[in-house]
Amino acid sequence: MKQLLILSGKGGTGKTTVAGAFIRLSEAKAYADCDVDAPNLHLVTAQAREPKRTAYYGLPKAEIDADRCVRCGRCEEACRFQAISAAEFKVDPFACEGCGVCELVCPVLAISLKPAQAGKLMLYREGDRVFSTAELKMGSGTSGMLVTEVKKQMVEASQEGVQLAIVDGSPGIGCPVIASLSGVDMVLIVAEPSISGISDMDRIIKTAQRFRTKIGVCSNKYDTNLANTQKIESFCAERGLPFVGRIPFDSEAVKAVNRGQTVVDVPCSSGSAVREIFRETLKLLFPEGVGVSPGA
């Protein structure tokens, strides 16, 4: 199974819009939403059945047993995350990273690490199709490990012989993005023709290149700033990165998404452009040819 990951660096450039359309066009049998702290893919890929929900436990959090605590202050001194207040000898669960240093230094064994639920994993199944997604519990912090779980769940649940998996990523370049990049066969970057969008595209490409995966770039809302679209295309040409297409600004796209549809469910200019980009992307991902339907 080859994995195609959609990224952008900057948020709001159209990752989920493109991912949703690709899932529809390929009739994908395996797909996932790795944007666990702002997931949206489920909103445009209607699911008939309830998902299987699994509680996700991140790293444990420290807890101080007040009866045993002798208030020596060693835990507070050793904690690098300022998670222990000396006034009350209580652990701030938002700041605690679960490293266990306080437990190690406590002379009276008053501290223990307790499991903490950090979110939930959801797995939707319909026939031979699987959709893996998750939601981070608000206030629980790091999302990279949950992203790894989402991808693992997708791979484990999908059937043998599935050729293509589509993964919607998160904005930025940090831990959730790095976690989503591991093991993918190609990254499609959705760039926006703005000064911010170009700067962010540059940084996400540098990040993705460390993983030595194939990279393709498309530009969304290309006609809102033609000069900047031109800059995106020359940027790709200079670096030898395939540029796979332009998507026009299209108010029909917003309307479709607000109805829970993808842009290829309705006749519109952005939908036609995305179909073309999908065909180009498949050619890059499967240079030897493939049994995946390239869409109508």
Partner 1 sequence: MRNKSPKIAVLSGKGGTGKTLVSVNLASVAGESLYIDCDVEEPNGHLFFKPERVCEEGITVKVPEVNEDLCGGCRKCADFCKFHAIAFIKDKPYVFEELCHSCGGCALICPDQAIDERERVVGRVQRGISGGVRVSTGVLNTGEASGIPIIKRLLEPHGLQEGLPVFIDCPPGSACAVMESLQGADFCLLVGEPTLFGVHNLRMVHDLVRLFGKPEGVVLNKCLAEENPAELFCLEKNIPILGRIQFDNELGKLNSDGRIAARERPRFRKLFASLLEEVMKEVGHETAAHTQR
The residue from 51, 100, 183, 295 that contacts partner 1 (CB under 8 A) is: 100
DSSP 8-class letter at 159 = P
Residue 289 CB contacts under 8 Å (≥ 6 apart), including other chains: none
**x-or-dash string of contact with partner 1, 221-250, rule CB under 8 A:** ---xx--x----------------------
Q: How far is the CB of 248 from partner 1 (least distance, A)?
A: 14
Which helix or strand (DSSP H or E) is residue 12 part of? none
- Window of 9-17, 121-129, 234-242, 271-279 that interacts with partner 1 by CB under 8 A: 9-17
**x-or-dash string of contact with partner 1, 168-207, rule CB under 8 A:** --xxxxxxxxx-------------xxxxxx-xx--xx-xx
- Window of 61-69, 77-85, 268-276, 287-295 that interacts with partner 1 by CB under 8 A: 77-85
Residue 184 CB contacts under 8 Å (≥ 6 apart), including other chains: 3, 4, 5, 167, 211, 213
Q: Shortest CA distance to 171 belongs to which of 3, 4, 15, 5?
A: 15
The residue from 3, 33, 35, 106 that contacts partner 1 (CB under 8 A) is: 35
Beta strands in the chain (DSSP E): 2-7, 30-33, 52-57, 61-64, 84-85, 90-91, 111-114, 117-126, 129-136, 164-168, 186-191, 214-220, 243-247
The residue from 25, 136, 191, 274 that contacts partner 1 (CB under 8 A) is: 136
- Rounded to 10 deg, the angle between the 195-209 and 226-239 helix axes is 20
Q: With binding defined as CB under 8 A, does residue 101 bind partner 1?
A: yes
Q: How far is the CB of 131 from partner 1 (least distance, A)?
A: 16
Q: How far is the CB of 209 from partner 1 (least distance, A)?
A: 9
45-56 residues labelled b (16+ CB within 10 A) or e (exposed): beeeeebeeeeb
Q: How far is the CB of 32 from partner 1 (least distance, A)?
A: 17
**3 or 225: whose CB is closer to partner 1?**
225
**55 or 104: whose CB is closer to partner 1?**
104
Number of residues that make up the chain: 296
DSSP 8-class letter at 114 = E
Beta strands in 151-266 (DSSP E): 164-168, 186-191, 214-220, 243-247
Binding site for partner 1 (CB under 8 A): 9-13, 16, 35-38, 40, 43, 59, 78, 80-81, 94, 97-101, 104-105, 136, 138-139, 141-144, 170-178, 192-197, 199-200, 203-204, 206-207, 210, 224-225, 228, 254, 257-258, 260
